[in-house]
Structure 1
């Protein structure tokens, strides 16, 4: 997969993120792979009742923002979570 396709697939589901990490252009899409990983990990807090549901909605909105950014070929950080770097 090329870097743009890898970036788009990473935001779709957990399975897409794993496929993008394993089979995609990791160096070309490192920014979006990192953001998608951070968003999906932060989204796990959405399992907490009440407050977590709001956090889950926030993470979903961040995933949509990241997906739109990947489709447009831009590297825009999502709010709050965009500055966290897990992949080197």
Structure 2
């Protein structure tokens, strides 16, 4: 897959993220793969009642923002979660 396709697929689902990591342009798409990974891991906290639901909505909005940035070919960090780097 090329860089733009890998960027977009990373935000779709957990399966899309795994496809982006293993089959995509990992070096070129490192920013979006890292950001999608952080968003999906942070989204796991949405199972907590009440507060977690608000956090889940926030993570969904972050995923949509990242997806739109990937569509436009930009590397914009999402709020709060964008500074976290899991992949080197």
The alignment's TM-score, normalised by the length of structure 2, stands at 0.99
Q: Is the counterpart of residue 54 in structure 1 residue 36 in structure 2?
A: no
Q: Return 5+ residue gaps in structure 2 as ranges.
A: none
The CA RMSD measured in Å over matched residues stands at 0.2
Q: Size of the alignment, in residue pairs? A: 88
- Distance of 2:57 and 2:12 partners within structure 1: 15
1:14 is aligned to 14
Deviation at 1:26, TM superposition (A): 0.2
Q: Deviations over 1:8-49 (max 9, x none)?
A: 000000000000000000000000000000000000000110
Q: Return 5+ residue gaps in structure 1 as ranges.
A: none
Structure 1 ranges of 4+ moved more than 4 A: none
